[in-house]
Every structure is written in structure tokens, then in C-alpha cells.
Amino acid sequence: MRKTSPVSGTAVQSLSEAKRGGEGRTAALGFPEQKARDRAPAAQGPITEPVSAAENAAAPVLVEPPAAALGRRTLSTAFVMIGPDGHLTVELRNGRLLVLRNVLMQQKVYCGEQVLGVSPGKQYCGRYADVAAARPGGAPPP
């Protein structure tokens, strides 16, 4: 990343003075007198300066616990194979079995509408670290 600073006023001022001042000043700046009169000052943008990486610390990287990473991987593998019924069966580490539909995978949690279980139709959100297994479909495992 680079910082920008405005162009120093002395550089622009010396160019305009050289145009008005005549032969002595234009020759000192290295411009022939004819070219200096015909030429308008060029538009100058901000001058960039290098910046150290210590000044611009990057955003902190989120470190996910191994159990959450494994649960996310397991759930996403089953998620991409969801069939036309839209159901996803999730087995939690505590042994509970959930059948969800309209599942949304978010950064830290997943949410879906319960099809079977304690309260059908209710929204359920769970942590990835709690996922033991997942598979597409809503029927009990064979």
C-alpha cells in the first residue's frame, strides 16, 4: 500500500515563475525560451511514497479449531450433493440426528429449517464443531 501526498507547491511555482521570468530562468530549468512559452504546465497527480508493512497491518486471519474445520468439510461435502428434495441429514457429536432443508452455510454456523426432530418447521443453527457426520437426503441411513 502506498501513501499519497500532494505535489509540493514549490515545483509548480518554480515552473510558472520560469515562464514569466524570461530567458535566464527558463535556461536554468533546461527549457528553451520558445518551448517554455508555448507549453502549459502539465497536470500532476499525487506523488506516492513507500509505506512499511508494519504501518499497514493486514486483517487478522481467523484460525478455526480442527474440530470445526472437519465439521465444515463434512457438512459442505454433503451440502453439494443435496438432491431435489433439498434435505440434509446431520448427525451431531452428541448422537442427535437432524434432517434440515434450506440449509445456509455461514462463516461460523450453519442454519436450516428442521424437517424431522424435536420441533419440525423451526429454524436450527449449529456450530461446525458439533457435526460428526452429514449426508444428503432425509431418509434414515440404510
Give the contacts of 51 (CB within 8 A, at least 6 positions apart): 1, 2, 3
Please give the pLDDT value at position 6.
54
Summarised one tens digit per residue, pLDDT across range 50-78 is 766 666 666 666 677 889 999 999 999 99
Asked whether the predicted pLDDT for residue 135 surpasses 80, the reply is yes
Half-sphere exposure of 64 (CA within 13 A, CB side): 14
Degrees (nearest 5) of the Cα angle 139, 140, 142? 110
pTM: 0.53
Picking from 33, 3, 2, the residue whose alpha carbon sits closest to that of residue 18 is 33
pLDDT classification of 140: cutoffs 50, 70, 90: low
Q: Assign a CATH topology to domain 66-136.
A: SH3 type barrels. (2.30.30)
Give yes or no for a contact between 87 and 100, defined as CB atoms under 8 angstroms apart. yes
Q: What is the pLDDT of residue 20?
A: 56
Break the chain into its structural domains and give their ranges.
2-50, 66-136
99 in Cβ contact with 86 (< 8 Å): no
Instruction: State the Cα–Cα distance between residues 37 and 27, nearest whole angstrom.
Output: 12
Tens of pLDDT, residues 2-51: 555 555 555 555 555 555 555 444 445 555 555 555 666 667 777 777 76
In 3D space, the residue among 83, 80, 121 whose CA is nearest the CA of residue 100 turns out to be 121
Q: What is the pLDDT of residues 83-126, one digit of tens each?
A: 888 899 999 999 998 899 899 998 889 999 998 766 777 899 99
